[in-house]
Amino acid sequence: MKQLHLSFLFLLFAGLHTTAQTETQKTYFLKNNGVYVKDKDSADYTRTVDEPAKGSSVYQINDFYLNGNKKRTAQAIMTKRMVYEGAYVTWYKNGNKQQTGNYVNDELNGELNTYYPDGKLYSTKIYSREGTPAQESTYIKTVKDPKGKNLVVNGKGKYLIYDEDFKQITDQGNVKEGLYEGIWTGKNLKQKSSYAESYDKGKLLSGKSTDEKGQTYAYTKLVDNPEFIGGHGALSRFLGTHIRYPAKCQDEGIEGTVILKFTVLKTGKISNISVVRPLHPDLAAEALRVVRLFTAWKPGCYRGIAEDMLCNLPVRFSLNN
């Protein structure tokens, strides 16, 4: 089952279409893919955002299905960006609870419970951060089948992972001491591919995917992110060579970072370029112009197979450089 990571909060105040309900609450309209739309008739769900109470810095976010049922609640604070903080809850459209968890400084922390659509407990995981630098650690504590039978108890047993609708099993394997262990197998319904992987104490040792044509792909990383040809250094040089500082912003001393979002297709082509944080219209326009000059990137891969992937790119405008 795909993890719900609450990425819906990021664009909360980026020039969206809103309808003010009160002086301290705004309403937004969204599609299921997180895209904001102009009106309720085009939306899949609605969101209300309550300004922090006096003496607080916490925004309250409430999402609703179009039938009026709750979809999710969450809390966040705003520094230079939106940061998840505190408890969150999600619900299925039928009104049953879907997931409960907690964020600390934008990271999942503590117990995360996921439920079947009928309300029965599916799994309990424990999130923590360990080591220096801190790395996220996930302990798979409990997994139950649809009838309530224990599959994983105290971090040991067989873990069955379902699709988003809990209609079919997509992944399965053993868990030991709360971590993946031994051979795991599964299928990617979107790619129409299957895989087999080997784990030791939660670490992926090797994997092999097979696509619908029978071609195989070996890998040692689940996700291989898209990359500008030549790496980060080449990307920095490209931006430095092609960016022309807008004269108006230069005269007025305007500087900062424009964040762009785009998709690197499995062919390596760049698509769907947009501005996430505009900062200033002239800076945003220049960043867009330069990114449109990109040639093909090295595509990202999931389980060894090239796949369309979303990228965020910060473009820094500095008068001192």
Q: CA dist 6 to 84, 124, 295, Å?
A: 8, 18, 32
Q: Measuring CA to CA, how many Å separate 316 from each of 113, 185, 270, 289?
A: 40, 43, 20, 14
* 125 and 210 inside one domain: yes
| Domain final position from 176, 197, 221 | 221
State the DSSP H helix or E strand holding residue 141, giving kind and residue range, or none if neither: strand 135-144
Pairing assessment for the beta strands 97-104 and 110-115 based on DSSP bridges? antiparallel
b vs e for 275-292, b when ≥16 Cβ sit within 10 Å of the residue's Cβ? bbbbbbebbbebbbebbe
Question: Is 53 within the bounds of a domain?
Answer: yes
The phi, psi pair for 183, rounded to 5°, reads: -90, 130
CB 263 within 8 A of CB 308: yes
- In the chain, the amino acid numbered 61 is I
Token pair recorded at residue 126: 């424990």
Task: State pTM to two decimals.
Answer: 0.79
In the block, residue with structure tokens 């945003």: 284
pLDDT value of position 15: 37
What is the domain count for the chain?
A: 2
Query: Residue 77: inside a domain, yes or no?
Result: yes
282 and 170: one domain? no
Angle at alpha carbon of residue 120, lines to 118 and 125, rounded to 5°: 130
Distance of alpha carbon 28 from alpha carbon 281, whole angstroms: 23
User: At 211, which amino acid appears?
Assistant: D
Other CB atoms within 10 Å distance of the CB of residue 61? 22
Q: Is residue 63 in a domain? A: yes
Q: Is residue 83 part of a domain?
A: yes
Tell me, what's the pLDDT at 19?
47
* pLDDT for 38: 86
Q: What is the pLDDT of residue 277?
A: 76
Which residue, of 168, 194, 221, is where some domain finishes?
A: 221
Expressed as residue numbers, the domain containing 200 is 7-221
Q: Looking at residue 51, what DSSP letter applies?
A: P
Is the same domain home to 123 and 237?
no
- We report the CATH number of the domain holding residue 267 as 3.30.2420.10
Three-state DSSP class for 289? helix
Instruction: Look at residue 129 in the predicted model and tell me its pLDDT.
Output: 81
Instruction: Encode the chain (321 residues) as per-residue pLDDT tens digits.
Output: 433 333 333 333 333 444 444 558 889 999 887 778 888 999 999 999 998 988 888 999 999 999 999 999 999 998 767 788 999 999 999 999 999 999 998 889 999 999 999 999 999 999 998 766 667 789 999 999 999 999 999 999 999 999 989 999 999 999 999 999 999 999 998 889 999 999 999 999 999 999 999 999 999 999 999 999 999 999 999 999 999 999 999 999 999 999 999 999 999 999 999 998 778 999 999 999 999 999 999 999 999 999 999 999 999 999 875
State whether 217 and 236 are in the same domain. no
Same domain, 185 and 273: no
226 domain-assigned: no
Q: For residue 239, what pLDDT is reported?
A: 95
d(CA 208, CA 211): 10
CA 33 from centre of chain:
11
Q: Within 13 Å of residue 186, how many CA atoms lie on the same side as its CB?
A: 24
Final residue before a domain boundary, out of 176, 192, 221: 221
Query: Residue 80: what pLDDT?
Result: 66
